[in-house]
Amino acid sequence: MATKELVAASSRPLVLSILERGESYGYAIIQDVKARSGGELQWTDGMLYPVLHRLEREGLIKSRWGTADESSGGGRKRKYYQLSREGGKALKAEKTQWLNVHNTLAQLWGVPHAG
């Protein structure tokens, strides 16, 4: 299980990367992270929302209010997020940084490099 600090530090690139794949909303983003990390990255669910709001304030993501899918949510209000152009650039920079960290550690530990 990842430490609290690592979870906090990785929240930004994770959210940006998920939104790069298309529009999404809080609950779905959390489920996506849980599924992709095999449960290794466990967020306190509610703490994702301040991260989303901060990214929105920085202009890296955009939001709109829509309704939940009729079949699951009965049409209640839901806030959807998508990556902005600025967010795309920020994600590119994040990717470079995280791959640098990954590759340095991989080299030290003798495991295959990424990207």
Using alpha carbons, list the distances in angstroms from residue 57 to 49, 62, 80: 12, 9, 15
2, 41, 68, 106: which one binds another protein (CB under 8 A): 68
Binding part of the chain for another protein, among 14-22, 46-54, 83-91, 104-112 by CB under 8 A, reads: 46-54
* Helices (H), ranges, 38-84: 48-57, 70-73
57 part of the interface to another protein, by CB under 8 A: yes
Query: Could you tell me which residues come within 8 angstroms of residue 82 by beta carbon, excluding any fewer than 6 positions away?
Result: 19, 22, 23, 24, 61, 62, 63, 64
Cα 70 to Cα 21: distance, rounded to the nearest angstrom: 23
Q: Shortest distance, CB of residue 87 to another protein, whole angstroms?
A: 16
Q: Shortest distance, CB of residue 7 to another protein, whole angstroms?
A: 13
Q: Shortest distance, CB of residue 78 to another protein, whole angstroms?
A: 5
49 part of the interface to another protein, by CB under 8 A: yes
Q: Which residues contact another protein (rule: CB under 8 A)? A: 25-27, 44-47, 49-50, 53-54, 57, 65, 68, 72-73, 76-79
